[in-house]
Structures are given as C-alpha cells and as structure tokens.
Amino acid sequence: MNKEIVIIGAGPGGYEAAMEGARLGHKITLIDDYGVGGTCLHWGCIPTKTFYKQSKLLYDMNRAQSHGLSYGAIELNHVELLKRKQEIVTVLENGIMRTLKSLGVNIIEGRGYIDGKTVIVKGTNKPVVLEPEVIVLAMGSKPKLLPIEGCKLEGVLDSKGLLALTEIPKSLTIVGAGVIGLEFASIFNQSGTKVTVVEYLDRILPTQDLAVAKRLMSYMKQQGITLITGAKAQCITKEQGALNLNYSLVKNSHSSNDNHGLDSNVNVLKSDYILVAVGRTGNITAFEPATSDIEVANNFVVVNEHLETSVKNIFAIGDINGMNMLAHGASYQGKWLMKYISGLENQISHLMPAAVFTIPEIASVGFTEEQLKEKGIPYNSNKTMFGTLGKAHAMNETEGFIKILTDYEDTLLGVHIIGADASNLIQEAVLAMSSHMPLKVLQSIIHTHPTLSEIYL
Ligand SMILES: Cc1cc2nc3c(=O)[nH]c(=O)nc-3n(C[C@H](O)[C@H](O)[C@H](O)COP(=O)(O)OP(=O)(O)OC[C@H]3O[C@@H](n4cnc5c(N)ncnc54)[C@H](O)[C@@H]3O)c2cc1C
C-alpha cells in the first residue's frame, strides 16, 4: 500500500503533496533546485501581496481626509518594503521546511531529471539516482517571452525582475492586462509610478466575467492608470536611457478604450521600465519533450482526469499541467493526488476560486455570464452593489458589485465580485457551491450586520 514517491519541484503543489503523502504513510523524496516554496513564495503570491498591502495602505491614506484624518507627506522607502518582503518569505520558508522535516520527508536540493522511470538529481554533490514507484512532476511555470525585437534590453523585465528592483520606477509600461500585469499596475500606480498598460485583446482580464473586467477598467482609469486595449506590441528600442515600446492598434478591434486619440499606425510609449506579463508557460526542465514518452502540448504536460501523464505512474500537478495556474489549485491537486494514490479519492473537483488583487479586488468562482451564454445554459443573474451596504459606506469602499448566476432551480452557477475584500468574500460562494446549496438557502442564513458579507443577501 505505502509507496516510494519522488516529487520534482517544491512549490505549493510539490510541498503540499509531500506533506500529505508523508502523513498518509508514503516514503517521500522532494527535490528542488531553489529551497522550498516555489514561485508562489519567492516571486509570486507572497511578494506581490506584501507589495499590494503597501499600495492599499497608500490608497486608504490618500483618502484619509474623508475619515477625519490629516497628516504630513507620506514617504516611501522601497528598500524597507523589500526587506519586509524578504523577512516574510524567510519565516514562511522556514515553516514549510520544519513541517516537511517533522513529517520525515527526504529533501534533496538539486535539479531533477527523468530518464525513463529513473530520477537523477544533479546538484552540488555527486548525482543521486532514484528509482521510485511513483514520480510527481511539480516543476511549475515560467514567464512567456514576448517574441519582439528589443525584448532582451536592460530594463525590460518579467515579474521576478520587477519585484527585485530597488527603486520605484518613475514610469512603467506593462505589456499584458492579465492578472499579473494588472496587479502590478495597481501596486505601482499607488507608489506614484506613471503606469500604462498595453493589451492585445479588446478587453482586460479575459478569464473574468466581462462586466467585472469593464468595471475594473473604469476604476483603474479613474485612479490614473492608462489602459490601451486592442494594441499589439511591435518592438522595443532604447533611447537616451529610456525604453520605447512601439505598438500598433489592432484593426477591427472592438476596443472599449478610446485609445487616447491615437491612430492605427505605430505609436510609441516611453518609460523607464517595461514589464512583460503576457502569460506563463510550463517549466519543462526535468525531461526532454522531443525524446520523452511524457506527452506535452503547448509546453504544458498533458494529464488525464487522475492527473496521470501519458506514462503510467508519472503524474503532473500544479502550473506544469496548465489546468488553472493558481497556487491553491496546485496545493489542492498535490493533496488530492496523494489521496488518489492511497485509494482514498477518485474524483477531482474543478470548483476553483480565483482572486485578482487590484484596487478594488476581484474574485470569482464558477461560470462567467459569457461562458453560460456560449454553452447555452439558461440562467438568472442577480446583481447587488456594494453601495447598498452600511459597512461599505462606513469603510468608504462603496465601489463594486456582486453578480450571482443561478440556474432556474436556484442552483449557483457562478459568483463574481468586484469590491473591497472580494478575495475573502468569495469563500462563502465556494462553500455554498461545493455543498450544492441553493441561493435561497444561502440567503436564509443569518449574516452578521454590518458586514460586507451582507452582499449575498
Ligand atoms: C507575480 C505572480 C503573482 C502570483 N500571485 C498569485 C496569487 O496571488 N494567488 C495564486 O493563487 N497564484 C498566484 N500566482 C501563481 C502561483 O505562483 C503559481 O500558480 C504556483 O506557484 C504554482 O505552484 P507549483 O507548485 O505548480 O509551481 P512553482 O511554485 O512554480 O514551483 C515549482 C518549483 O520547482 C522547481 N523546479 C523546476 N524545475 C526543477 C527541476 N528540474 N528540478 C528541481 N526543481 C525544479 C522550481 O525552482 C520551483 O521551486 C502568482 C504568480 C506570479 C508569477
């Protein structure tokens, strides 16, 4: 029953799988070439949310007068923020390491490679060769490159590079209006950076409900961020220390953006730095896709409904399988897989909430209205504004709404929130949806007053 399992990659997918596997009695070896914690801890969720907290504080402080508060000028110390971020990362990394060790997980630092069903770890010491019964690929993802001239110039950064800057940019052009691009737009806009976002599609946040995305676009513009949709990045050049992003407006784009009076020929945006945030791709570092039997599509490892790859007993979890590209998605898959291998689970859940940490926040679970229309699923849509809540007024956070989509039997199909604390509020919808609770039952539950959770009533 108990198996020898090797996990390559110690991000939230790999380390949660290792902990769960060890708890279930399996013999686990966890391999990583960069300590434990992965992208999420070192260059993703945690660093960005540390930055986000600062930007939200700035946003609130700038509106403090309406709460009867006034004070002198606010001074930003970016180096202090970086120090705080690093302290948080270290505390969390040590915590993960302690738990793994206390559960008896064998941790090897080095780069893992697969040859057939053998794992070879190359690190500072001599290579370790392992022949486990089960291999779990949890190598995560890396930023997609922008295949245009000038993308390797100094100052053209990915999210990791931007997080490492020791100064606050005076101006920043962001290519890509997905989650990562917009979170950084919100963060640096509050720090005083002149932020311009250029997006190829005719809308921002393509995975979110359109009404929510449109509302965010209008809030971001009010906050001073320039958003240009339907715009194709053409090339980057450097002139007297400044970077120029050349872009053209996409013909026939149904852009909701007024495009600032620009024509459809090439336009130029000048800035100190450029962030490329055009998506992420699987980090296929442990095998050679051309010669391996492990099937890969669009740089992600293909898995079946049990997260098994095309090779028996080799599984893939988290970003590397491209299913949802979320830290909690990776953790869930890691834990689920260990239960599946132990014969305790058979059916994976696809109910995956997601949050976007902009100002205000966005969170969602289930189908968007556009997906329901596309699938021909009949639905009712209920919208409530944050402005109807006493607590939202007290907090001076009246922007936004909740959109609840139900079928004609009152079953929840999707919930979409834009507004204060959306990332926490969504959890009530996740609970209701995972327990198949009709909307009227959810609404009959007593909600504390005054709270933002009354948005569900
Ligand atoms: C800027 C940014 C912000 C984000 N914010 C959020 C957020 O707020 N919420 C959220 O849910 N998600 C967020 N994400 C996404 C989240 O970070 C990922 O979904 C999550 O880290 C995926 O976990 P994982 O375990 O699959 O892989 P990863 O966390 O990428 O971990 C993979 C690990 O494998 C190691 N590795 C790779 N190849 C090898 C090899 N051959 N041998 C040994 N080790 C190897 C890597 O060094 C890494 O440590 C964010 C991502 C970014 C970039």
Q: What are the chain's domains?
A: 4-143+281-341 (3.50.50.60), 156-276 (3.50.50.60), 360-456 (3.30.390.30)
Q: For residue 51, which of 244, 332, 275 has the smallest C-alpha distance?
A: 275
Q: For residue 107, which of 90, 87, 88, 121 has the smallest C-alpha distance?
A: 121
- Assess whether the C-beta atom of 18 lies below 6 angstroms from ligand 1: no
- Phi, psi values for residue 306, rounded to 5°: -110, 20
The band of 290, judged by pLDDT with boundaries at 50, 70 and 90, is: confident
- Phi, psi values for residue 135, rounded to 5°: -120, 135
* Strands in 3-151 per DSSP E: 4-8, 27-32, 106-109, 111-115, 118-122, 128-130, 134-137, 141-143
- Assess whether the C-beta atom of 325 lies below 6 angstroms from ligand 1: yes
- Assess whether the C-beta atom of 34 lies below 6 angstroms from ligand 1: yes
Residue 417 has pLDDT above 60, yes or no: yes
- Of all protein residues, the one whose alpha carbon is nearest to atom 27 of ligand 1 is 140
pTM of the shown model: 0.96
Q: Is 449 a known active-site residue?
A: yes
Rounded Cα distance, 376 and 344, in Å: 35
Q: In angstroms, what is the span from residue 319 Cα to ligand 1's centroid?
A: 7
Q: For residue 325, which of 174, 160, 100, 144 has the smallest C-alpha distance?
A: 144
SS3 7: strand
Give percent of the chain above pLDDT 90.
Answer: 93
With tokens 């998605």, the residue in question is 329
Q: What is the mean pLDDT of residues 339-345?
A: 97
SS3 36: coil
Residue 223 region by backbone torsions, left for phi larger than 0, else alpha for psi between -120 and 50, else beta: alpha
Q: What is the CA radius of gyration of the chain?
A: 23
The band of 303, judged by pLDDT with boundaries at 50, 70 and 90, is: very high
Cβ atoms 389, 456 nearer than 8 A = no
Residue 252 has pLDDT above 60, yes or no: no
Instruction: Return the pLDDT at 253.
Output: 52
Q: Give tens-digit pLDDT for 74-102.
A: 999 999 999 999 999 999 999 999 999 99
With tokens 């007053």, the residue in question is 449
Closest-lying ligand 1 atom to the alpha carbon of residue 121: 42
Rounded Cα distance, 411 and 437, in Å: 7
